[in-house]
Amino acid sequence: MYQSVVITKNEKITKDIYYLEIKETYKVKPGQFFMLKKENTQMTLYRPISVFRLTENSVGFLYLIRGTGTKILRELKAGEQLLVHGPYGNGFPKAEGKLALIGGGIGMAPLYLCARENTNSTLYIGLRENLYTDEEVQNIRKLFSDVSLHIKIGGTVIDDVEFEQYDTVFTCGPSIMMKKTAERHHNTYVSLENHMGCGIGACLSCSCKTKQGMKKVCYEGPVFQATEVEWE
């Protein structure tokens, strides 16, 4: 069931990434997501957005502007209401040992909470070359300033990871990056970003191919052991 909550922040981080915060208390696992929508609007569908930051009484989301729905979210101001339902999805498992977190673009968002929970981790973020100004990259750095961070601009971020140092790898981002990550480390978990309609297992729009047949990313994922996934 959806809830109407108050927005406390909706800030521009880069030309296409915004940080939105709501004042509400939720119990959330890293890797889970909420469905968000503006009240009284032509925005027809809720948008699935992963949880980025969490405090006792607030939840923060880092989201990419990629269509009409997120353009509408971008216009919201602090003090306005937002409709949310969630949290949904399985989230990342508890990682033992040393953990590498590898995020491509906005795939960095769900990994921040994992980095906060696991002090024996390093977060690697890959950003496209020439996409962001120095100031925008600085803004991203600031968001992650309290975790061990490595940002690579241009090229392939996984080239910077010494995989043999790590016991477990969590990754989120473009499929090709996650597939290649899984080829480099046997104990990799991927967070899939399939298109979603309902977010609650009812519409099948998020289905993905796995070794055990089709699975719903919103309900049985979004986190899967990489060895389960049949990459396209």
Nearer to ligand FES, 69 or 199 (CB): 199
Residues that bind ligand FES (CB under 6 A): 196-199, 201-206, 216, 218-219
Q: Minimum distance between the CB of residue 112 and ligand FES, rounded to whole angstroms?
A: 23
9-26 burial, b at 16+ Cβ within 10 Å, e below that, comes to: ebeebbebbbbbbbeeeb
Q: How far is CA 57 from the centre of its chain?
A: 20
d(CA 132, CA 171): 22
Q: Minimum distance between the CB of residue 57 and ligand FES, rounded to whole angstroms?
A: 28
Contact 103, 171 (CB under 8 A): yes
Q: Minimum distance between the CB of residue 192 and ligand FES, rounded to whole angstroms?
A: 11
Q: Minimum distance between the CB of residue 35 and ligand FES, rounded to whole angstroms?
A: 9
What type of residue is 143? L
d(CA 31, CA 178): 15
Nearer to ligand FES, 78 or 204 (CB): 204
Q: Which tokens in the block code for residue 129? A: 């070359």
Q: Minimum distance between the CB of residue 90 and ligand FES, rounded to whole angstroms?
A: 13
Nearer to ligand FES, 13 or 200 (CB): 200
Nearer to ligand FES, 78 or 203 (CB): 203
Half-sphere exposure of 229 (CA within 13 A, CB side): 29
Q: Which tokens in the block code for residue 46? A: 């809720």
Q: Minimum distance between the CB of residue 1 and ligand FES, rounded to whole angstroms?
A: 16
CB atoms under 10 Å from CB of 184, counted, come to: 16
d(CA 116, CA 224): 21
Nearer to ligand FES, 6 or 204 (CB): 204
In terms of C-beta density within 10 A (0-12 exposed, 13-18 middle, 19 or more buried), how is residue 145 classed? exposed
Nearer to ligand FES, 109 or 196 (CB): 196
Q: Minimum distance between the CB of residue 47 and ligand FES, rounded to whole angstroms?
A: 11
Nearer to ligand FES, 131 or 200 (CB): 200
What sign does the dihedral 144-150-154-159 (CA atoms) show? Answer: negative
The DSSP letter of residue 186 is: S
